[in-house]
């Protein structure tokens, strides 16, 4: 298992370090740490599937697609992963994306762990930092007092409209605590959620929106 994971890490590190700071390899390392914490409480889960899915989960992200870029399937084939293992890893990855609240149904405990681990890195102090890093890379406003957060949207709506960074908290990040699946994911999410709420209250005071 370790040899396969090491080969995978060597390949994906070069892919992710072409992305902006919100989705670089440091993000993957943090999600791995989160997944390992959850795995300690979920002994029935297959660790190899979880760790490979974490390493690969953002490779095919549409926001970063470039011509000729390796796909998750390409990488699994390159590192010599067995077909059955590859299929299970890809199934995990498919269920991770938020997609405007239209995420695919979870089909395994491994998928639940990877999704929770990834969403934990989207909230709390690191979630705040990542949101503004992504917004800055895309030239988005910090905030827009006239912009209304949407409570229902299709995946196309979610990906098609470039909102201010603060709006993203209300359209996604503040919703994630209630969408956690594993008990450990729920526990870890609570403190991070509370930190974001405090940050937003302070921000509103400073910019005169409260």
What residues contact residue 9 under an 8 Å CB cut-off, 6+ apart? 55
Does pLDDT of 19 surpass 80? yes
Arithmetic mean of pLDDT, 61-87:
93
- Mean pLDDT in residue range 50-68: 93
**CB-count burial class (<10 Å; 0-12, 13-18, 19+) for 175:** middle
Query: Which CATH number is 73's domain given?
Result: 1.10.3210.50
First-residue to last-residue Cα distance in the chain: 52
pTM of the model: 0.91
* pLDDT over 90 percentage in the chain: 79
Count CB-CB contacts under 10 A for residue 178.
Answer: 9
- Per-residue tokens: 95: 């269920």
pLDDT at 95: 87
pLDDT tens digits, 103-161: 678 989 999 999 999 999 999 999 999 999 999 999 999 999 888 888 776 666 666 67
Provide the pLDDT confidence category of residue 23 given band limits of 50, 70 and 90.
very high
- Closest by CA position to 157, among listed 169, 145, 166, 149: 149
200 HSE (CA, 13 A, CB side): 21
Q: How far is the CA of 133 from the CAs of 23, 97, 197, in angstroms?
A: 9, 19, 19
Question: Two tokens at 165?
Answer: 């960074």
Predicted local distance difference test score (pLDDT) of residue 149: 86
Please give the tally of structural domains in the chain: 1
- Say which residues have a Cβ less than 8 Å from residue 147's Cβ, sequence separation at least 6: 163, 164, 167
Confidence at residue 159, expressed as pLDDT on a 0 to 100 scale: 61
The answer to whether residue 101 scores a pLDDT higher than 60 is no
Residue % of the chain over a pLDDT of 70: 93
3-state secondary structure at position 142? coil
What distances in angstroms separate CA 176 from CA 169, 189, 203, one per listed residue? 10, 8, 20
pLDDT at 154: 63
Domain limits for position 75: 2-207
What is the Cα–Cα distance from 111 to 116, expressed in whole angstroms? 9
Residue 91: strand, helix, or coil? helix
Q: Token pair for residue 134?
A: 């992504």
Which whole number is the average pLDDT over 40-66? 94
What are the φ and ψ backbone dihedral angles of 51, each rounded to 5 degrees? Answer: -70, -40
What rounded mean pLDDT belongs to the chain? 92
* Helical ranges in the chain per DSSP H: 2-16, 25-39, 47-56, 72-78, 83-94, 109-120, 124-137, 155-160, 165-171, 183-207
């Amino acid at each position: 298992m370790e040899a396969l994971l090491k080969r995978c890490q060597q390949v994906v590190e070069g892919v992710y370090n072409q992305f902006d700071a919100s989705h670089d390899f440091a993000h993957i390392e943090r999600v791995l740490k989160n997944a390992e914490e959850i795995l300690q409480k979920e002994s029935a889960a297959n660790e190899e599937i979880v760790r490979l899915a974490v390493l690969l989960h953002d490779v095919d992200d549409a926001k970063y697609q470039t011509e000729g870029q390796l796909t998750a399937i390409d990488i699994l084939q390159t590192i010599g992963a067995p077909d059955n293992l590859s299929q299970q890893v890809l199934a995990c990855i498919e269920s991770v994306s938020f997609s405007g609240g239209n995420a695919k149904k979870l089909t395994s405990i491994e998928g639940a762990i990877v999704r929770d681990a990834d969403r934990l890195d989207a909230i709390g102090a690191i979630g705040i930092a990542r949101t503004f890093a992504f917004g800055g890379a895309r030239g988005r406003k910090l905030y827009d007092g006239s912009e209304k957060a949407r409570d229902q949207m299709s995946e196309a709506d979610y990906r098609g409209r470039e909102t201010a960074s603060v709006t993203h908290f209300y359209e996604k990040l503040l919703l994630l605590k209630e969408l956690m699946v594993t008990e450990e994911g729920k526990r870890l999410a609570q403190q991070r959620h509370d930190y974001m709420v405090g940050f937003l209250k302070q921000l509103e005071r400073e910019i005169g929106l409260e």
